Each structure stands twice: as structure tokens, then as C-alpha cells.
Amino acid sequence: MKVLTRRHQARQGSVLSMGGLRMDLEANRAWIGEQPLDLSAREWAVLEYLLSRVGHVVGKEQILQAISGWDDALSENAVEVYVSRLRPKIEPAGLRIRAVRGFGYLVEEVAGAAPSVQ
């Protein structure tokens, strides 16, 4: 599944962007405006997965399957931790990760928020 997702994204280009956030999937680098965004490997994987499904609610189980390997023992609580760490990091880009109770998470632009570029 991960391979198919990567192939699909490669056909669309190697950069995901939304609001003031850009993720270069080939270089594994992200920016808000011109400022580099410091992300752990798991935060990167969660954010990449959410941004590749903009407009869709993504369940915790889907995120878990996307970010964990065969030898990982992650729980849905781990997803909550990564999402909580990502929220303040992407806020300056005019984005938020909204929890949709009982379904999962959704990345959306904050209405009226101008991305802050430092």
C-alpha cells in the first residue's frame, strides 16, 4: 500500500503544499514560508499522510498502517501524540489538524489566517 501511495504521489510531483507549508518528498524537507520545519521521522510520516489526503477524514488506524513497519508496535495513542506535536508546528502555516470525533483527523486551512513567514 505504501508503495502504491508513493507511486501515485510521484506522478503528481514530489512537493505537497497547503497554506504556507511545503513538503519536498524527495529531499525529506519541509518549510513554512522560507523557514525550515523541524520534524521527527514519525511526525513527517503523519503529516505527509494527512496532506496527501486533504479533504478527507483519516482514521487513526489508517495513519498507523501508513507510518508503522512490520516490527513496530505502535498504538492509536501514538498517533494522538504525533498529531498533538504537529499541531503547533503547522499552525504558523495557517493550517490545523482537526479531530473529527469517532472518525479521525482532517487537515484544513484556518479561515482568515494568513500564514506567518518569519
Q: Is residue 93 part of a domain?
A: yes
Q: Is residue 17 part of a domain?
A: yes
Q: What is the CATH number of the domain that holds 18?
A: 1.10.10.10
Q: Is residue 70 part of a domain?
A: yes
pTM above 0.75, yes or no: yes
Q: Is residue 54 part of a domain?
A: yes
Place of cell 482537526: 98
**pLDDT tens digit sequence for 52-101:** 999 999 999 999 988 887 667 788 888 999 999 999 999 999 999 999 99
Q: Is residue 72 part of a domain?
A: yes
SS (H, E, C) the chain: CHHHHHHHHHHHCCEEEECCEEEECCCCEEEECCEECCCCHHHHHHHHHHHCCCCCCECHHHHHHHHCCCCCCCCHHHHHHHHHHHHHHHHHHCEEEEEECCCEEEEEECCCCCCCCC
How many structural domains comprise the chain? Answer: 1
Q: Is residue 59 part of a domain?
A: yes
**pLDDT tens digit sequence for 91-117:** 999 999 999 999 999 999 987 655 555
Q: Is residue 23 part of a domain?
A: yes
Q: Is residue 98 part of a domain?
A: yes
Host domain of residue 93:
2-109
Higher pLDDT, 1 or 31: 31
